[in-house]
Structure 1
Amino acid sequence: MADDQPMWGINRAVAPTPRAAIVTIHLEDNFIVKGHHLSMIKDRQFDGRSLADPHKHIAEFVEICEMFRYGNTNTDAMKLKLFPSSLAGEAKIWFNELSPGFTQQPNESLVDSWLRMKDLLLSCHGHGLGRGTIIQIFYHGLDEPTQAILNAGGIFLYKTLNEAYRLLEDRVLLKLDWSKKNKAKAIRKTIALVESEEHSPLLEKMEALTIRIDS
């Protein structure tokens, strides 16, 4: 997807699979996995045991998937479709218990949600998700009031990829700038209070009176 095209163009191509953590991309109705392709994947399943290497498993899974082509079918869509079949045992149980997609947490702000989304992506090396897909997943994981905030300046999904990304990043910068200003104000107030106490004529008179009484 080009950065200057509207976001709505991929709206129907990305959706969470019911009761699954995989976000699927549209597949042709006649898509059928080749038997020997599926056999190769199941022969190298990852079971989650302590001696199993998840990084090696992913590398082998991708290597096998890249051996096969299914006409014009999106390669990423094919990988997403087949990945659950590459898991077994405890790994499959863990996968099935994952929450579907990205969801905004209760009382979580728009900015905090976006920052958490970015942290999740940083922890998932080689996720292969494009910026457009990431923003789509993020938007659909927000509650309605927060979506309304993004739509306040025009329908969010009608914006170009660059515009949508810039809007989210500007919100972060605005919050950081606001936090810095508030901290600076608090420091200035503290300094002013200390200075006023140190140089107050009334305070000096009271100290002098105290000295006289003590003597």
Structure 2
Amino acid sequence: MADNRTMAQLLQAPTEGYEDAIVIPEINANFELKHGLINLVQNKQFFGHDKEDPHAHIRYFNKITSTMKFPNVPSTSEKLCLFPFSSRAAQFGLRNEPSSDRINMMTCKSKFINKFFPPSKTTNLRNEITRFQQRFDETFYEAWDRFNDLLRACPHHGFSELHQLDTFYKP
């Protein structure tokens, strides 16, 4: 089949495939994101640096978005509208998603966590928890706080409470 496009048409950049990966379900209400709400979500923006905790970012985002309610607007729609404003790194990551892979809030959070908390990071933190020892110059309470910080850094560590206590109190 012959291509009957002119040279000018052939040289034009394609315009398909630039749809947003996040698709907001149709909202049958008068709904508008206010600047104050966007600023609140952007207050603790996630940039994707190594020392940043994506789980803490999701907890903060959920805390902020759980305080708002718009009449006749599903909370998932509100969250989907706001999430790209909460993270420069998430915006970049979601822009790279194929437009055919439409994202809901659960997959949005899942993709975000998987991008910024890969399995290797989980393995490293689990090993650090397993090898935990109180430092010579550290008080019991300082050690306990440090141990709990490690557990919070990897909320899906999978260690039972008994295993955690055994690890902390091991000789």
Give the TM bin, normalised by the shorter chain.
0.3 to 0.5
TM-score with structure 2 setting the length: 0.46
Name the larger-Rg structure.
1
